[in-house]
Amino acid sequence: MTNRTLRIAVVGAGYWGPNLARNFSASPDWDLAAICDLDEDRARQVSDQVGHVPVVPSLTELLAADDLDAIAIATPAKTHFPIAMQALAAGKHVVVEKPLADSGSNGQAMVLEAAARGLILMADHTYCYTPAVLKIRDLIAEGELGDILFIDSVRINLGLIQPDVDVFWDLAPHDLSILDFVLPGGLHPTAVAAHGADPLGAGRSCIGYLALPLESGAIAHVHVNWLSPTKIRQMVIGGTKRTLVWDDLNPQQRLSVYDRGVDLGKQAAGRSDRRDATISYRLGDTWSPALPEREALSTMASEFASSIRTGQPSRTDGEAGRRVLAVLEAATRSLSQSGSAVPLGDKEREMEAAR
Amino acid sequence: MTNRTLRIAVVGAGYWGPNLARNFSASPDWDLAAICDLDEDRARQVSDQVGHVPVVPSLTELLAADDLDAIAIATPAKTHFPIAMQALAAGKHVVVEKPLADSGSNGQAMVLEAAARGLILMADHTYCYTPAVLKIRDLIAEGELGDILFIDSVRINLGLIQPDVDVFWDLAPHDLSILDFVLPGGLHPTAVAAHGADPLGAGRSCIGYLALPLESGAIAHVHVNWLSPTKIRQMVIGGTKRTLVWDDLNPQQRLSVYDRGVDLGKQAAGRSDRRDATISYRLGDTWSPALPEREALSTMASEFASSIRTGQPSRTDGEAGRRVLAVLEAATRSLSQSGSAVPLGDKEREMEAAR
Amino acid sequence: MTNRTLRIAVVGAGYWGPNLARNFSASPDWDLAAICDLDEDRARQVSDQVGHVPVVPSLTELLAADDLDAIAIATPAKTHFPIAMQALAAGKHVVVEKPLADSGSNGQAMVLEAAARGLILMADHTYCYTPAVLKIRDLIAEGELGDILFIDSVRINLGLIQPDVDVFWDLAPHDLSILDFVLPGGLHPTAVAAHGADPLGAGRSCIGYLALPLESGAIAHVHVNWLSPTKIRQMVIGGTKRTLVWDDLNPQQRLSVYDRGVDLGKQAAGRSDRRDATISYRLGDTWSPALPEREALSTMASEFASSIRTGQPSRTDGEAGRRVLAVLEAATRSLSQSGSAVPLGDKEREMEAAR
Amino acid sequence: MTNRTLRIAVVGAGYWGPNLARNFSASPDWDLAAICDLDEDRARQVSDQVGHVPVVPSLTELLAADDLDAIAIATPAKTHFPIAMQALAAGKHVVVEKPLADSGSNGQAMVLEAAARGLILMADHTYCYTPAVLKIRDLIAEGELGDILFIDSVRINLGLIQPDVDVFWDLAPHDLSILDFVLPGGLHPTAVAAHGADPLGAGRSCIGYLALPLESGAIAHVHVNWLSPTKIRQMVIGGTKRTLVWDDLNPQQRLSVYDRGVDLGKQAAGRSDRRDATISYRLGDTWSPALPEREALSTMASEFASSIRTGQPSRTDGEAGRRVLAVLEAATRSLSQSGSAVPLGDKEREMEAAR
């Protein structure tokens, strides 16, 4: 495909749309072709901020434009599926604000549709394109941490109690999309156990815990909470070689890589009784890599363009969005079963087979 | 009972015994009568540090002394039960290093035996007697936090991998005994769900999560971990009025009480559709109470004496020790069932009935 | 004076001008009448962001407008004096970005000119209008801290080495204007001693220390530094009753008020030898007041309007700006005399007499 | 000299003596021969803790013992000089608790006496032997920081107001001895300027600032304070290549080495007007070296033995102690002259000449 500047329209001028519009507008890869929203005033405000691009209230009219390459969807989650399907049917590449869809099956249908038409479907998992998360992905990919032993993610805050979704669907997509991004091969838990509480009687979980055993014997765990008076956004990723701590609220030292850990020596057969003798503890240096300063959405916009041009999936493709949905759906099911572990493998296998 | 100074012997001169010996020796309530350990050299070393009290290798001989009021047990957990039963049979009051026993049924038997003989059985849940935890208990009892909504406890560290117990039995007794101490009426979860991981192949869980739904709709959660490169000991206790954060590693501000939270207004009948309109957020001041400096074991020693003199149970009585064991046992059961929630109510009710 | 909306123009469309334009434009007290800059393109960009107000390249033309009440000056420091004098001569009220002028005498002349014409001259000491500093001023004024014993301010960072001013003139105006704002009666050191270093050979001090003895026997001290790899912005204000710590980089607890300190008892005559017996130490609670969220410049804009309407000086009036300049000039003199204490009293008294 | 175990006596059984006794007693290099204190009871208590070494009340008797190699002096500062001189006259090596003496001239006399007799005189600058400070010294010596640009040391706390010395003589010896230890060639400021305050009327400075210009154009600065409600012990050492931050109260990351800083390019002759164009900023990684755990006094004891055996001065020899005294005396003089810079060079040169 040529290197010509691609043309994109932003659909949805609410909370996130202006950010998308600003970044696609500023990107050397993209021309921002239009803002599309039923609320024409709101769309015009966004348009004014990025240099007066056309406002198109009708999605159908928008998609009819032959010179439009792609759309970025930032509408309410329920509408992601119909809008994306209509756009794919019109031959447009699509990037969708998280969550990819309002259900796993809709997400799966979008993935299949894009594949069938040879179009790019990308999830806007914005956090994945922050300098910190990109660095974490690289460190793991390069083997700096060794094999992953555990991931513990905490995202708590005095947050807005959402009217329509619980704390899992509100906050955990961030953690899950990051896990999917940094784990080699993506996030494939064998099961999901979710524990929630609604002690205020808000009608939905305001506090949530997710336990995600991984095939390797490792465990991932997520704590999300709307009721904490203090704000914590921290992820610990333990590996056989090193352990990384990401403290997103410490701009002076966001990432710390600890050469500290436990080593278990290999045992001769039949000597399991003497295992303890071979435990050793590493207490080495700590290292905090410098991070470039770049807005995540700007990197995301480049990636979307590059994906279209090369035909390769982006690092947060539709499949990644679908995996996040699969975990969230399993979490909802686990919640309704007193936290029983809901296995993910079978359904996953079906989905993989369907592709 | 008279106010005469009470006489106690410390049984076990290993890791914890010297601390008990030093504090009972320094206490105005107590005379330290003897150190008892099969390893006479070890016992003598402890004796030398506290002013040359007698060393008595034989437990039977020790308990035969008429002028001995009580013993403090600091031997390996497996031996707590037989030693305590023998001491109770000899008419001695007993305080036992945590955990109270190696099983819930043994703990229960000890509780029943002490009750039957009118003797005091106390668990040395040392953490409960730190100035911070005593203050937390008071604040909750006085209603400063309102009703409890959630408790989240994190105790992670690059810790020693124990040869005989997993991370739940090694570290969680601290958290559970504290929960039992500060919650009005003690810790009574409706169920226990435990998720663990042993990614190094150590033969037992090195990472553990406990979800403990409470009857009120609140949730308690504990994260214990031997593999974390950084040390965190933090407990957040959210209430309807205020939320408390205990950061045990910040000596300059261990306790913070936040007047921050979410208020849900009461609804008129049939108006549930408008509930969201009545959510409000408090963003008030933070307050950090000054804490006295006193060694926890010194307070524990006073409490044991006072309990013996008044005949009233101590704040960490045998029953408290038994409740902690009940949760740990349920956790072990949950682990073996892929993290299924193990209900606690029935067995608890049986136990209560048995008393 | 009436309560009609006042009309203001922003002079200078560089770094700070857009912030002034945005805040005066959004203020209910003000109509933003024009943007004035010799660089018409730059002025137009600012104008576009605030709703297309007129661009006027000529200051003379701007000041000729009868319906203009005031100007806000955000040009290079050297030009503050001539622009302000021209505006005052034209009968306009004036607010000036810090520092008020490029010399104490120019600042003094501006103060006298405004007084002679009955116009308001205000220094835009923006930091003083942040919620934290406003709260500090209130706490001190209400006697919450008691008498001030010491103030220690640290403002260090890997900062840009300025081409024309040293680190004292670049960073210390922030600290000095805050000291002037929170100390009852303003900042009146008896002397200024400045110690600087230029270890890189940059041609000006990159590291600076200011010692400012106050008449009461208290001391204020300022550390400014362009070469620190870590960023610290912290001020400790010790009082006889309480001590306040302002950590501007900790959004979760910017202000902490410690009920901790030393009390010296009063002595009977001739008993000075026993003074030590009467020293006592307070170790009380810590309190962190909640702070409202409001942009400092918005509060500054309201204050300027209110000052014009009532004819009362603002809390950062021209006199405050002049006091800051007096300290900076004394610091420069001290630097050239190996850090000798340069007394401030005499010159100050002359200035006061001249008013 | 042979490698036989050396024999030492501790003189002074007050605050610091027991620590010395414990460490010399445990050292493989030393036999603890006696405890010497006029207060025989106090001496006996110390003796009991270290295994019942002889108690000798008389210094003269102690020094008469032919088999005694050395003494460690931990008596009040005023008595350091006479005791050390008597011990040196008796042919004993001497290590002295900080400060070396109560005046620079006494310290100088001790240095000369030891040199004349070929004996080792060492200052127990304990902080210098902590793992953190030893590491700092190594990093600087190995050129890891490049040339030193500035050192800023803060040691503040709600401290005990001492009856006999001001905050400079109480706390600054720590900072000064550390500076002397880590700076290649020792601490040689060209002048000392001291600013103090006694706002409570305690009769001596409770807050102190020391500015110490170094010959290289660098500056060292020390802030000591008894009135701060919060405890800070932090030293920043800026170098041309890297900058080190030592936060002694952060056990999880005591040392941080920042590859961050400012680089000024070299100028062609006559091109000084374009200097600014060549400023660049480094924003590299941060590194926190692991530190061994070893008690500082244990390392000090080894160093004293090694110094005696090799005849080489220790890293904190009498000369180092004298340099610290010279700065403290100059600080006292500066205080009495309103903070004027007191030059150190001349007197220093005299002293050096006298040796």
Q: Give the Cα-Cα-Cα angle B344, B349, B354 (nearest 5 degrees).
A: 130
What residue in B sits closest to C252 (Cα-Cα)? B286
* Residue D57 CB coordination number (10 Å): 13
Alpha helices in chain B (DSSP H): 17-26, 40-49, 59-63, 80-89, 104-117, 131-141, 167-182, 296-310, 318-335, 345-354
Domain ranges of chain A: 6-125+296-317, 128-293+325-332
Q: Kindly report the nearest CA distance between residue D117 and chain B, in angstroms.
A: 42
Architecture of domain C128-294: 2-Layer Sandwich (3.30)
Q: What is the pLDDT of residue D355?
A: 52
Top CATH class of A6-125+296-317 equals alpha beta
What residue in A sits closest to C51 (Cα-Cα)? A48
C285 touches chain B (CB under 8 A): yes
The pLDDT profile of chain D, 355 residues, written as one tens digit per residue, is 557 899 999 999 999 999 999 999 999 999 999 999 999 999 999 998 888 899 999 999 999 999 999 999 999 999 999 999 999 999 999 999 999 999 999 999 999 999 999 999 999 999 999 999 999 999 999 999 999 999 999 999 998 998 889 999 999 999 999 999 999 999 999 999 999 999 999 999 999 999 999 999 999 999 999 999 999 999 999 999 999 999 999 999 999 999 999 988 755 444 444 444 578 999 999 999 999 999 999 999 999 999 999 999 999 999 999 999 999 999 999 999 999 999 997 555 555 555 5
Q: Which residues of D touch C205 (CB under 8 A)?
A: none
* Residue B324 CB coordination number (10 Å): 28
Nearest to B250 by CA among B269, B227, B233: B233
Q: How far apart are CA C252 and CA B283, in angstroms?
A: 11
What residue in A sits closest to D293 (Cα-Cα)? A283
Q: How far apart are CA A191 and CA A214, in angstroms?
A: 8
Q: Residues 207 to 236 of A: which have CB under 8 A from any B CB?
A: 207, 209, 211, 213, 216-219, 221, 223, 225-230, 236
Q: Kindly report the nearest CA distance between residue D339 and chain C, in angstroms.
A: 7
D2 touches chain B (CB under 8 A): no
Minimal Cβ distance to C285: which of B283, B284, B288:
B288
| Contact at CB, D262 and C213, closer than 8 angstroms | no
What Cα–Cα distance (Å) separates residue A239 from each residue in A143, A146, B60, B231, D42?
9, 5, 51, 17, 53
Q: How far apart are CA A94 and CA A88, in angstroms?
A: 7
Q: What is the pLDDT of residue B164?
A: 86
* Token pair 């507008």 in the structure block, residue: A25
Architecture of domain D128-293: 2-Layer Sandwich (3.30)
Mutation target for C interface from D230, D257, D337: give the one with most C CBs within 10 A.
D230
What Cα–Cα distance (Å) separates residue B70 from each residue in B50, B295, C345?
18, 21, 74
Fold equal for B6-126+296-324 and B128-294: no
Tokens linked to C97 = 């970005």
Minimal Cβ distance to C149: which of D148, D227, D275:
D227
Among A201-205, B51-55, B321-325, which stretch is predicted with the lowest mean pLDDT? B51-55
Residue B278 pLDDT class (50, 70, 90 cuts): confident
Strand partners, B286: B258, C288
Long-range contact pairs involving B279-284 (C-beta distance under 8 Å, separation at least 24)? B279/A161, B279/A202, B281/A158, B283/A158, B283/C290, B284/B258, B284/B259, B284/B260, B284/C290
Q: Quick check: B38 pLDDT over 90?
A: yes
Q: E strand or H helix at C229, and its extent?
A: strand C227-239
Q: Kindly report the nearest CA distance between residue B307 and chain D, in angstroms.
A: 34
Q: How far out from the chain centre does Cα A170 lie?
A: 12
Q: In 3-state terms, what secondary structure has residue B32?
A: strand
* Token pair 């299924």 in the structure block, residue: B340
Mutation target for B interface from D44, D45, D233, D252: give the one with most B CBs within 10 A.
D252
Q: Kindly report the nearest CA distance between residue B252 and chain C, in angstroms.
A: 10
D290 touches chain A (CB under 8 A): yes
What Cα–Cα distance (Å) separates residue B19 from each residue in A47, B121, B133, B249, B296?
71, 19, 20, 21, 11
Burial label, D164 (beta-carbon count in 10 A; 0-12, 13-18, 19+): exposed
Q: Quick check: A240 pLDDT over 50?
A: yes
CB D98 within 8 A of CB D173: yes
B272 touches chain D (CB under 8 A): no
Q: Give the Cα-Cα-Cα angle A6, A8, A13 (nearest 5 degrees).
A: 160
What CATH number labels D6-125+296-325? Answer: 3.40.50.720
Nearest to A256 by CA among A148, A136, A146: A136
The residues, ordered by sequence, that sit 6+ positions from D39 with a Cβ below 8 Å of its Cβ are D13
The pLDDT profile of chain C, 355 residues, written as one tens digit per residue, is 557 899 999 999 999 999 999 999 999 999 999 999 999 999 999 998 888 899 999 999 999 999 999 999 999 999 999 999 999 999 999 999 999 999 999 999 999 999 999 999 999 999 999 999 999 999 999 999 999 999 999 999 998 998 889 999 999 999 999 999 999 999 999 999 999 999 999 999 999 999 999 999 999 999 999 999 999 999 999 999 999 999 999 999 999 999 999 988 755 444 444 444 578 999 999 999 999 999 999 999 999 999 999 999 999 999 999 999 999 999 999 999 999 999 997 555 555 555 5
D169 touches chain C (CB under 8 A): no
* Token pair 């279209």 in the structure block, residue: A308
Nearest to B232 by CA among B247, B245, B210, B253: B247
CATH superfamily, region A128-293+325-332 = Dihydrodipicolinate Reductase; domain 2 (3.30.360.10)
Give the mean pLDDT of A180-207. 96
**Angle, to 10 degrees, between the axis of helix D131-141 and the axis of helix D167-182?**
50
Q: What is the pLDDT of residue B269?
A: 42
Please name the chains neighbouring D, where neighbouring means 3+ C-beta pairs under 8 angstroms: A, B, C
DSSP character at residue B176:
H
D281 touches chain A (CB under 8 A): no
Task: State whether ipTM is beyond 0.95.
Answer: no
Are β-strands C243-247 and C255-264 bridged in parallel, bridged antiparallel, or unpaired?
antiparallel
- The per-residue pLDDT for range A271-297, each reduced to its tens digit, is 444 444 578 999 999 999 999 999 999
Q: How far apart are CA B248 and CA B154, in angstroms?
A: 11
Question: How many inter-chain contacts (C to D, CB under 8 Å) are there?
Answer: 173
The residues, ordered by sequence, that sit 6+ positions from C138 with a Cβ below 8 Å of its Cβ are none
Among 2.60.40.2310, 3.40.50.720, 3.90.1150.10, 3.40.50.10490, what is the CATH number of C6-125+296-318?
3.40.50.720
Among 3.60.15.10, 3.40.720.10, 3.40.50.720, 3.30.830.10, what is the CATH number of B6-126+296-324?
3.40.50.720
